[in-house]
Amino acid sequence: MGDVGVKKIIIKNNIKMKNVKVSNMQSSRGNDIANQFEIRTSKGVYFQSYDSVIAFKPNAYDKKTILDKHTWDYSMTTGKYRNIFLREDKKETEKKIKDGVYLLRDLNK
């Protein structure tokens, strides 16, 4: 993944983190995908599409994955890369939301 530096979403939300690494997601051919990012922190990995955080997968096994309640299903493009990030299809994601496996929260406040 190509490093692109710290995105404005982190700065805009005044989140203070050490060792933050932002990388473009990559296509199956290894090319950077524009506007689709993984943000790695000491607490876990965020998926950001354009300027919106879509999902957060914590490093801790006892913590739940969080999806942004407003943007997790924003568009087909967001959905395509969300599925890649979560390693599942939309139907599986919807079931996990319904079953409480995933939490819906505002990740962009």
Q: 28 exposed, middle or buried (CB, 10 Å; 0-12, 13-18, 19+)? A: exposed
pLDDT of residue 12: 42
Q: What's at 65, amino acid-wise?
A: T
**Length of the chain measured in residues:** 109
Taking the domains of the chain in order of start, what are their residue ranges? 8-105
- For 61, residues 6+ apart whose C-beta sits below 8 A from its C-beta are none
Q: Given a cut of 80, is residue 13 above it in pLDDT?
A: no
pTM of the shown model: 0.81
Under a CB-based contact definition with an 8 Å cutoff, are residues 108 and 52 in contact?
yes
* pLDDT tens figures, 41-96: 999 999 999 999 999 999 998 899 999 999 999 999 999 999 999 999 999 999 99
Q: What's at 6, amino acid-wise?
A: V
Give strand pairing partners of 21. 40
28 vs 101 pLDDT, higher one: 101
